[in-house]
Structure 1
């Protein structure tokens, strides 16, 4: 009777990964093959559904998607909010080291909620471009806001901007990078021969790095990104003392983050003396958004 009860306690929840949150053996005892399928789908959907959504919104005729209706980019964002959590769960499922189920569930729920908040704010924000809104200026400094009556409506737009840029981004990206970090902690092997990347990983490296560059600059999440990067370095040093090495998946993540960091540095140096962008980003961390650069230096030419 007791053994039967013990067996029932370990029955996995239907529809969920059987090993999510289970206790794993020491690192290096698993097959560390490169997860090409997941990384390919992850990179592809990031470029199409996240980076591509505002571009699709601007390219498609306005008659197809009136300003008082969701744009094509909004539907891309909705698809992103569904597909990305599934891919993140797949990553966690393939990692031998995970947090308890409750931590994973809360992270995914927070991610979806934050991305959904961003969906609303970003939709209104980018639709305002058609009315003359300039992303390189603050909400209150925009010409269309200065003529808005009553003037208290500007406060409502600033609240929308706050939910989009701060609340939405924090709830979106903190669990996103947390899950990537959890996955990374399991990307170690005790075989030095397995500590290398196949050609397929090198092929995906630049697209992946460029996306992280876009994510950090447009999302204004450098602190979250650099904290995750340093945490990854700390894990590497700790595992190295145990005689463990990064496998191909861990190397892919590390090189993607490292290359993205170099791209961010190049981006900052290139726009270092831009007085207009300096005014919008006056803080210690000066990282202009690509779409702010677009409305300032590219869109003005049309």
Structure 2
């Protein structure tokens, strides 16, 4: 969308796709390193299964997301359902629409579930080992404070675009409960734990601001009719910003 289309033709991966491919390699490696550094961990076989699920889910999402974003150039609108999209609803034969709905299911539901469940599970397991009885270790360096903003924005994007608020909020509640439980034992979060915990808090604030800002958007309300109303950034983009290009 930002770079010239001539650089990345529609029948080839986009720049974002290449970054996503790198993410699918780098992030599992970093998650393994987190588990290795944590004094509390999962059984080795469960760690392997979690990482495999993560890679599979992120890869499924990569394919579906790549196609969906390329469809924007053809007029696809993310704030509408698959069948309501002008470029989809008139396809012949109609069974093609089922194929696009299957692609959407793989991307938005199956891919996200396989991607985010092991991701947040590993983060939480790592968090359980981020406690110390030494107060001096419960201070974040300046570099961590500077990185907290980008980290929170990253989690905000994961939660909103991935539509995983329930998974996120349950993880956050589990973290809060663990903090209170460990406090009774005289343990406090170390700098790594504080960074993760505060990032989740700021993420919750960002989500709240996002929801309040778009609370009265009738079109997005129609796309997200459930009790939990958290619009996707890409839906907002195709509805309000795509005509600016």
Q: TM-score, normalised by structure 2?
A: 0.97
Displacement of 1:74:
1.6
Unaligned runs of 5+ in 2: none
Displacement of 1:154:
0.7
Structure 1 residue corresponding to 2:105, chosen from 157, 162, 178: 162
Matched, 1:70 2:13: yes
2:123 aligns with 180
Matched, 1:82 2:82: no
Structure 1 residue corresponding to 2:223, chosen from 272, 275, 280: 280
2:141 aligns with 198
Matched, 1:234 2:177: yes
Structure 1 distance, partners of 2:225, 2:97, is 21
Structure 1 residue corresponding to 2:61, chosen from 106, 118, 130: 118
Structure 2 residue corresponding to 1:100, chosen from 33, 43, 52: 43
Report the secondary structure of 2:150's partner residue.
helix
1:218 aligns with 161
Structure 2 distance, partners of 1:300, 1:105, is 45
Q: How many residues align?
A: 245
Report the secondary structure of 1:206's partner residue.
helix
Show CA shifts across 1:28-54 (max 9, x none). xxxxxxxxxxxxxxxxxxxxxxxxxxx
2:94 aligns with 151
Structure 2 residue corresponding to 1:255, chosen from 198, 205, 219: 198
1:291 aligns with 234
Displacement of 1:97:
1.2
**Which aligned runs of 4 or more in structure 1 are off by greater than 4 angstroms?**
none
Counterparts of 1:263-274 in structure 2, within 5 Å, are 263-274=206-217
Report the secondary structure of 1:59's partner residue.
coil
Q: TM-score, normalised by structure 1?
A: 0.79
Unaligned runs of 5+ in 1: 1-57
2:151 aligns with 208
Show CA shifts across 1:69-98 (max 9, x none). 222222211111000001111111111111
Structure 2 distance, partners of 1:290, 1:73, is 16
Show CA shifts across 1:269-299 (max 9, x none). 0000000000100111100011111111111
Displacement of 1:139:
0.5
1:137 aligns with 80
